[in-house]
Amino acid sequence: MKCYSISVIFDDIDYQNDWIDLIESKNLIYFASEISNFFGITDEQHIREALSRSISAIKQSNLPQKLHFRRIFIEKNGSVVEDWVLSEIAWKLTILNLPPVNPTIARMQMKLIMNF
């Protein structure tokens, strides 16, 4: 019978959790902030609402949210701000849920639908 100290057990649990996080996040390759930058979105509310609708769609589809969305915090201009890392599915859903406030967004939404 092996005897482990509490610190070893916690280290093993942390290692396992880190490993699980790594596996679950391997497909999270896009940043929500990149959508804002790429499409020139200045109203962050548009991104937040699109993300919220996309997360709801994933949940209602019975897909595991953690495989498609992960909230992170990054440094921007000396402040800590919220961002999200997204899977390809989540990235596309978020773009489709944006309001078409400029021609670039509308064209990308049409392209995603036409390539479906």
* Percent of the chain whose predicted confidence (pLDDT) is above 90: 58
User: Exposed/middle/buried for 113, CB within 10 Å: 0-12, 13-18, 19+?
Assistant: exposed
- Nearest 5°: phi and psi at 73? -125, 135
Q: Is 5 helix (H, G, I), strand (E, B) or coil?
A: coil
Q: How far, in Å, CA of 18 to CA of 37, rounded?
A: 30
Structure token pair of residue 105: 């967004």
Give residue-wise pLDDT tens across range 5-43: 344 444 555 555 554 555 566 788 899 999 988 998 889
Q: Which residue has the higher pLDDT, 13 or 98?
A: 98
Q: Which 8-state DSSP code applies to residue 61?
A: T
Q: Are 83 and 105 in contact (CB under 8 A)?
A: no
Cα dist. 89→43, 57, 66, 108 in Å? 23, 11, 12, 14
